[in-house]
Amino acid sequence: MISELNPGIILIAGALLIPVLPNSWRNPYMIAIPVAAFAYVLGLPIGEFGKIQLFDMTLTTLRVDNLSLTFGYIFLIATLIGVIYALHIGDSIQHTAGMIYAGSAVGAAFAGDLVTLFVFWELTAIASVFLIWAARTQRAYDAGQRYLIIQIGSGVILLAGILIYYRDTGSIAFNAIGIETLAGQIMLVAIGIKCAFPLLHNWLQDAYPEATITGTVILSAFTTKLAVYALARGYAGTDILIPIGAIMAAFPLFYGIIENDLRRVLAYALNNQLGFMVVGVGIGTELAINGVAAHAFVHILYKSLLFMAVGAVLFRVGTAKASELGGLVRDMPLTLVFYLIGAAAIALPFFSGFVAKSLIVSAALKGEHFWAWMTLVLASAGVFLICGLRLPYVIFWQPTSAPYKDKKEVPVNMLIAMGAAAALCIGIGVYYHPLYAILPYNVKYAPYTLDHIVTQLQIVAFTMLVFTFMLRRNFFPTAKNSILMEVDWFYRKLSYNIAVTLTLMAQASWRIMINNIVQVAADLEKWINTHHSTGSIFGRTWPTGNMAFWATVMLGGYLILLYFR
Amino acid sequence: MARKNQGPEAHSKIPEQLKTWSDQVDQPENVNRIINALYTVCALLVVVDPFVHKHGPFEIEHIWGFYVLCGTITSVGLVIVAKVLRVILMKPEDYYDQ
């Protein structure tokens, strides 16, 4: 019976104890939860378990296959790394929210039906927003609200899609969905929001950099990769995803090169890497889906590592703004080494990103998707320029006059977490066979051929060359204290301005209307006054003698009339 | 290249080996050495290009130095476009609070 339990529940149930445990027990306990869940997942047999009858639907709360296992493994590894990175903080709200968030992502990865998926999908949204709010600043509070609205919106749209899907097919099984049906299209929008499709992406860059230092690391691992998992499960081979993914891989780079907040830069780079995965899902061959799973796996590791290293800088220096950083090479060399390993993992041979990204690029080549392939090749140069060159230069070498408050390496638990992620980035790059062995399909692929290595080195080396030239000629854009307008301009500025304009217009027309009414009333009053006020014709008091006189005149008149009749 | 004249206390928590390592990377003559190494690697990569057989189906990939161009064009293009975009998109930090 125990093997019918979704491993996500282990994390979620385990999280509930975190706030009540005494401090001395809390840290070992938090490490033990993901380790126990990982051991449990290792022992899971392939198949569908945990069936629950709900009205006339059968929920499959645990589906174990190679795709869900790949994501399950990496989610749990990311949980462990994230927990270690956050051990030094005593904020049990963050610990609990982070663990529930991770648990719901794991739960969703092992969900065998759409209703179970929906439940965990919404739980990721609700739990994760506390990691943003935990920063306890007004900006974080506002960004968290926007994040929550969009994430819950994604869940509601997903639910609508599931309901239509159930009505049409009578099934809630979570398998290939496709976009031929209305239900499929609606669900794609819901997943597209979480996956940060172009124009639906902005919650990512808006909210992640506002979260706590440790929260951002956790956030970067789960939500978007859960969406990639859902895409790979439901929409493999959907052609429209190829151009969508290609745009995703390209456009965030233009922002990443000039954005000032370095955690936001990493969020743009994250979006770009998601584009690679979405292209892979769109191609949909076995090689491509293997590439998606492998890339999600290694991407979680090196992106966490980059967020951890920038987080370490933010922790020690108190800022993650390019315009306020520089010269940290002497003060934080370990962080530098870890950062460089994470950056190398994006592009260099014998690091993890190379063995995973090659699968997707090769799948694009084999499928003869020219534009997608071209975009991915160019985008891999661009993301290296940003994460591999611009960021380390800005943090560690850029000349600066900023007075730092504290220049030391970070607490040892943060270094251990970074070290573990860095070790995996190198380990997987050098010895990729275990990763390839857990991928969904059994496809033979050799990442380290001469042409792969040489061509990738050509891209990287010449990107470095151009960067060096630009730095020496002062052509590279220097950082300024600023923000960049984004899609959120429409709902944060345009809609605000429209609302303000409408309010002003309403106020003005109200004022005009009131003025008119007052004017009309004044005219009426004036007219009434002329006839009825004291002294006017109707308002005057008359002596009774007058009345008697006129009555007599009237009666006399009648008499005369009668006489003539 | 970066800040100078730091007291020894700034380094107190840093392992001795890494400290020398990170200090040495920062020396101007070593920076030049690294850049010269980069030039050499780049030159080598251009020279070996015709001897590496590429397996892709697209003709363009087989042009001499195609990937060299990819890296160069992307970096230059990205920076130029971003510089233009910056004029349009850049706003003060309190833009949304106004």
Q: What's the pTM?
A: 0.88
Find the residue in A nearest to B76 (Cα): A466
Out of A276-290, A500-514, B43-57, B67-81, which region has the weakest mean confidence (pLDDT)? B43-57
Contact A263, A208 (CB under 8 A): yes
What is the least distance, in Å, from the CA of A265 to any CA of chain B? Answer: 13
Q: Are A253 and B78 within 8 A, CB to CB?
A: yes
Query: Cβ of B42 and A465 within 8 Å?
Result: yes
Distance from CA of A362 to the nearest CA of B (A): 8
Higher pLDDT, B13 or A99: A99
Euclidean distance between CA atoms A29 and A12, whole angstroms: 13
Put simply, the answer to whether B70 touches A468 (Cβ < 8 Å) is: no
Longest dimension (CA), chain A: 137
- Closest Cα in chain B, distance from residue A275 (Å): 17
- Best mutation target among B36, B78, B95 (most A Cβ atoms within 10 Å) is B78
Is A306 in contact with A343 (CB distance < 8 Å)?
yes
Contact at CB, B58 and A485, closer than 8 angstroms: no
Does residue A61 contact residue A116 with C-beta atoms inside 8 Å?
Answer: yes
Burial level of A329, CB count in 10 A (0-12/13-18/19+)? buried
Residues of A in contact with B19 (CB under 8 A): 330, 333
Q: Hey, are the CB atoms on B95 and A493 less than 8 Å from each other?
A: yes
**Using an 8 Å Cβ cutoff, are A482 and B91 in contact?**
yes
Tokens 């306890």 correspond to what residue?
Answer: A136
Contact with chain A for residue B58, Cβ under 8 A: yes
Name the residue in chain B with its Cα closest to that of A463. B71
Q: Is B88 on the interface with A (CB under 8 A)?
A: yes
Q: Pick from A330, A377, A401: which is nearest to B23 by CB?
A: A330
Set of chain A residues whose Cβ sits within 8 Å of the Cβ of B3: 326-327, 330, 399-401
* A390, A458, A473: best to mutate for the B interface, most B CBs within 10 A: A458
Indicate yes or no: CB of A365 within 8 angstroms of CB of B58: yes
Residue A60: which H helix or E strand, with range?
strand A57-64
**Which chain A residue has the Cα nearest residue B48?**
A454
Partner A contacted by B84 (CB < 8 A): no
Gap from A384 CA to chain B (nearest CA, Å): 9
Taking contacts as CB-CB distances below 8 angstroms, the residues of chain A near B22 are: 329-330, 333, 336
Nearest-Cα residue of chain A relative to residue B83:
A477
pLDDT per residue of chain A (565 residues) written in tens, 0 to 9: 457 899 999 999 999 999 999 888 999 999 999 999 999 999 999 999 989 988 888 899 999 999 999 999 999 999 999 999 999 998 889 999 999 999 999 999 999 999 999 999 999 999 999 999 999 999 999 999 999 999 999 999 999 999 999 999 999 999 999 999 999 999 999 999 999 999 999 999 999 999 999 999 999 999 999 999 999 999 999 999 999 999 999 999 999 999 999 999 999 999 999 999 999 999 999 999 999 999 999 999 999 999 999 999 999 888 899 988 888 888 888 999 999 999 999 989 999 999 999 999 999 999 999 999 999 999 999 999 999 999 999 999 888 776 666 677 889 999 999 999 999 999 999 999 999 999 999 988 999 999 999 999 999 999 999 999 999 888 888 888 888 888 888 888 888 899 999 999 999 999 999 999 999 999 999 988 888 877 777 777 777 888 889 999 999 999 999 888 7
Could you say which of B19, B35, B74 has the minimum Cβ distance to residue A333?
B19
Which residues contact residue A192 at a Cβ distance below 8 angstroms, ignoring those fewer than 6 apart?
A: A200, A227, A244
Give the residue from chain B lying closest to A410, CA to CA. B13
Round to whole Å and give the CA distance between A298 and A305: 11
3-state secondary structure at position A51: strand
Residues of chain B contacting residue A482, judged by C-beta atoms under 8 Å apart: 90-93
A395 CB contacts (<8 Å, ≥6 apart)?
A262, A310, A313, A325, A326, A328, A336, A339
Task: Please tell me whether residue A261 adopts helix, strand or coil conformation.
Answer: strand
Judging contacts by C-beta atoms under 8 Å, the chain B residues touching residue A379 are 74
For residue A560, what are its two tokens?
């005369």
The CA distance from A66 to the nearest CA of chain B, in Å, is: 29
Beta-carbon pairs below 8 A across chains A and B: 182
Asked if residues A106 and A70 have their Cβ atoms less than 8 Å apart, the reply is no
